[in-house]
Amino acid sequence: MSAGAWLANVAWAAGNRGAARRFTEALREPAAAQAAWLRARLARDAESAFGREHRFGSMAGYAEFARRVPLRGWEEFAPWVERVRRGDSGVLGVERVTHLAPTSGSSGARKLIPFTAGLQTGFAEAVGAWMTDLVRQRPGLLGGPAYWSVSPVAEGDEEASGAVRVGYADDAEYLGGVRAWLVRRALAVPSEVRHERAMDEFWRKTLVGVLGRRDLRLISVWHPSFLELLLETAERRWGEVCEGILDARRAAELRALGPRAWARWWPDLQVVSCWGEQAAEPGWRELQRKFPGVRVQAKGLLATEAAVTIPLRGQYPLAVTSHFFEFIDETGGVRLAHELERGRSYEVVVTNGGGLWRYRLCDVVECTGRMAATPTLRFLGRAGNVSDLRGEKLSEAFVAEVLRGLWPDGSRPEWAVLRACEERPGYELEIAGVGGDEAILAERLETALAANPHYAWARKLGQLESVRVVAMRVDVARERLRSHEGRIGDVKPVLLVGRKRVGR
């Protein structure tokens, strides 16, 4: 047991108790918790430029807020954020913007999300409630270090242009302050590794760090393929990695275990956390197979802009103490958290502590039930992810359910992506790993896609060719995932590729 990691973990766990208590109380009265959050934020930011323009100071409550502040996408916020980047103060809120966090935009353009102490508090509230629940279930988590995926810095991630820094110092900066300091004290891999631009060196240093810690307790990554690639690299460079471990006894132990003894490398490993819904589900299941006895927990819905849900006792309740949420229903109406109906799908709208007001997050969720009085949610896909080669308008949420129906027993292959082909024109389902007979799959897929009347009509008119199923090697699929949308550490699960994006 590492005394330093244990002390840092215990201190962090103690600091998280307040967040856990507040969240537990809010679960019973989400409407009151959300109203209080919004009321406090409106009062705090009334003298910001955005607040003055929308007359925050005279708002009596949510009804006026919804009437005076329109729903906005990134394009409408971009001019405000540009003022922040240039150094203007008090633009979207009165708190100082510590940095601008880059993330991919819905149209492919980069977004820069303002981070303030208020937004970091929102993330810390969500993570605190989540980690408190995990420690209750797995108290052994406190006994050793953790590996939190530290995404390597890509070209352009960190910039000196403008008055506000663009980029993270490291992933712990989500939490801010003392919390971030404590997390860094218990890291198995130093956060400086993210600045390694040579990918071979990034993987080597990461492996030396995580394999050098026999007492590793937690692995937290984004997409499960990140950990899969880490394991593959370990096997390919086993001798080199073992040589890099300074503890001779530990290096000898690893050589004796060998490069495929994943479950025995870390005998005290308690939890692996990663995405586990939709396109990430097969990879999540594979990690469950590789690490028997370890809790492989699917993450909640977490975006750069907001923590939407928290993994808690096997469910995913809305993070009602972190931000203010609204939801656009299938008719275009706007609902509050306590108004969601089980089995219905919604687009998430968030007001966060960093200055995004009624921001369309473009994530679509399904209400799966309630924890106390708070809705629990399941991620379905991205709003606006619509492929429209010939007017068929296939959305990612629809495709997600089609693919789920192709493999109802949960045996979906590791890679399954529907790709639009303008040249044909038509669609190809790329699969890697298990999947079944390609001709039968193509027939079943064609039938399922035809449930969309626009697709069925385009096929009937001959505007689209029949769908094809294309099998590929697993390593080729992973390489596509590696390069598809930027940094490998935060590639988002994608089920529909090569589409035009339209509004919900």
- Residues 227 and 219: beta-carbon distance below 8 Å: yes
User: What does the pLDDT read at residue 503?
Assistant: 38
Domains of the chain: 3-11+119-298 (no CATH), 18-115+318-381 (no CATH), 385-497 (3.30.300)
Which residues partner with 468 through β-bridges?
428
How far apart are alpha carbons 360 and 351 in whole angstroms? 9
- Residues 276 and 284: beta-carbon distance below 8 Å: yes
How far apart are alpha carbons 354 and 361 in whole angstroms? 14
Question: What mean pLDDT do residues 444-467 have?
Answer: 85
SS3 content of the chain, % helix, strand, coil (to 5): 45, 20, 35
C-alpha dihedral sign at 6, 8, 12, 15? positive
User: What does the pLDDT read at residue 23?
Assistant: 97
Q: Which amino acid is at 329?
A: D
pTM given for the model: 0.80
User: What does the pLDDT read at residue 170?
Assistant: 55
Whether residue 358 is predicted with pLDDT greater than 80 in this model: the reply is: yes
How far apart are alpha carbons 381 and 378 in whole angstroms? 10
Longest dimension (CA), the chain: 70
User: What does the pLDDT read at residue 229?
Assistant: 82
How far apart are alpha carbons 414 and 283 in whole angstroms? 6
How much is the mean pLDDT over the chain? 85
How far apart are alpha carbons 174 and 291 in whole angstroms? 28
- 200-248: per-residue pLDDT in tens? 888 899 999 999 999 999 998 888 878 888 898 999 999 999 999 999 9
User: What does the pLDDT read at residue 504?
Assistant: 40
Q: Which amino acid is at 72?
A: R
Please state the φ and ψ torsions of residue 45, each to the nearest 5 degrees: -105, 20
Higher pLDDT, 179 or 271: 271
- 119-143: per-residue pLDDT in tens? 999 999 999 999 999 999 999 988 8
How far apart are alpha carbons 240 and 254 in whole angstroms? 12
Helix (H) / strand (E) containing 184: helix 177-185
Least confident range of 304-308, 339-343, 413-417: 413-417
How far apart are alpha carbons 160 and 414 in whole angstroms? 40
What is the CB neighbour count within 10 angstroms for residue 223? 26
Whether residue 442 is predicted with pLDDT greater than 90 in this model: the reply is: yes
DSSP characters for 365-425? Answer: EEEEEEETTEEEEEEEEETTBEE-SSS--EEHHHHHHHHHHHSTTS---SEEEEEEETTTT
Residue 175 binned pLDDT confidence (cut-offs 50, 70, 90): low
C-alpha dihedral sign at 487, 415, 301, 187? negative
Whether residue 167 is predicted with pLDDT greater than 60 in this model: the reply is: yes
Locate 49 and state its tokens: 């430029």
Which among 350, 373, 354, 371 is positioned nearest to 362, based on CA atoms? 350
User: Which residue has 């937290």 as its token pair?
Assistant: 220
Q: Could you give the C-alpha distances from 244 to 189, 194, 230, 250, in angstroms and in order?
A: 13, 18, 16, 11
Locate 344 and state its tokens: 């219905």
How far apart are alpha carbons 263 and 259 in whole angstroms? 11
- 81-106: per-residue pLDDT in tens? 999 999 999 999 999 999 898 776 54
Whether residue 313 is predicted with pLDDT greater than 70 in this model: the reply is: yes
